[in-house]
Amino acid sequence: MKIRFWGVRGSIASPGPKTVRYGGNTTCIEIRTDDNSLIILDAGTGIFPLSQTLLAEMPLTANVLITHSHWDHIQGLPFFVPNFVPGNTLRLHGAFDPVSGKGVEQLMAVQLQYSYFPVREAELKAHIEYVTLAPEQSFQLGSATITPYLLNHPVLNFGYRIESGGKSVFFTGDHEPPCNIYNKDDADFGEYQQFVDERDEAIVQAMQGVDVLIADSSYTAQEYPAKLGWGHGSFDSSIDYARRAGARVLFCTHHEPTRSDDALEAAFAQAMAKNLPEGASAPDVRLAREGDTFEF
């Protein structure tokens, strides 16, 4: 499999001189299987530059897997250039909308309303298909087996495990490790902690043994207490997941948009020194960088 990062910032696009090394686009990751099936993880602003490179491959079928419906993960969909060209197919996968009860088609329907975008869905020239997924129900895309797992974020969020040709990758989307909502002196603390532990272990099992883990690592350990419940992980939590799951390589992503590249590298170095002291060989931990590729 081959992975290419097209957007690695979280929450809002943050282009400019201070983010030029790691990139300012929001989440979008291209995956190619051995049979060259095209899988796109999320449709943040990074899907626009990706779409420019796909023009040479038309007609094409693009399988887009949406982790969740927050703007930074879907706002590039209306600007996916192949949508405007006859002969192409966009197959959009994702969860149902818990508010409206509608399927993944709601993502396009809302964005392409007249008030927000000048082109109606009926005017798109490509063939659009919608596939609403259920947790832990695997499906096949070419040579790849894909399984969505329900993770922890303030909206229904899928993490995706992708397996093809004996290789595997897991992408968390936006994920905060489950935590106890009760104080330790509350009567319900113990029972709820058991639930938290079971959920956390189930997530580790979903990631178990992957070659590549791509994880939400928005915060430092010092920042996280003030962001509790916002639905994002930290460098520490991502490294912990990678170790417990036995992941070979960890890419830390969803970089905090207010963090410059220099600050990002400093925060990463601090987390590495704390969690993987010099001489530790596993996992191989890296900062996701826009434009970087990884083949395995």
Condensed to tens digits (0 to 9), the pLDDT of residues 72-105 reads 999 999 999 999 999 999 999 999 987 888 999 9
The predicted pLDDT at position 99 comes to: 82
Rounded Cα distance between 90 and 70, Å, is 20
Confidence of residue 139 (pLDDT cuts 50, 70, 90): very high
Average of pLDDT values for 101-115?
Answer: 92
What are the start-end ranges of the H helices in 65-104? 71-74
280 vs 270 pLDDT, higher one: 270
* Per-residue pLDDT tens over the stretch 211-238: 999 999 999 999 999 999 999 999 999 9
182 strand-pairing partners: none
The predicted pLDDT at position 279 comes to: 63
Residue 282 pLDDT greater than 80, yes or no: no
pTM, two decimals, is 0.96
Kindly report the average pLDDT of the chain as a whole number: 96
The predicted pLDDT at position 166 comes to: 97
How many CA within 13 A on the CB side of residue 42?
Answer: 35
Any long-range contacts for 274-279 (C-beta under 8 Å, 24+ apart)? Answer: 274/221, 274/236, 275/235, 275/236, 275/239, 275/240, 276/239
286 CB burial (10 A radius; 0-12, 13-18, 19+):
middle
The predicted pLDDT at position 101 comes to: 86
Percent of the chain with pLDDT over 90: 95
Residue 243 pLDDT greater than 70, yes or no: yes
239 CB burial (10 A radius; 0-12, 13-18, 19+):
buried
Rounded Cα distance between 283 and 276, Å, is 9
Using alpha carbons only, how large is the chain's radius of gyration in Å?
A: 19
Rounded Cα distance between 7 and 50, Å, is 9
Can you read off the two tokens belonging to residue 78?
């209306």
The full set of domains in the chain, from first to last, is 2-295 (3.60.15.10)
Residues 6 or more apart in contact with residue 293 via CB below 8 angstroms: 2, 3, 4, 5
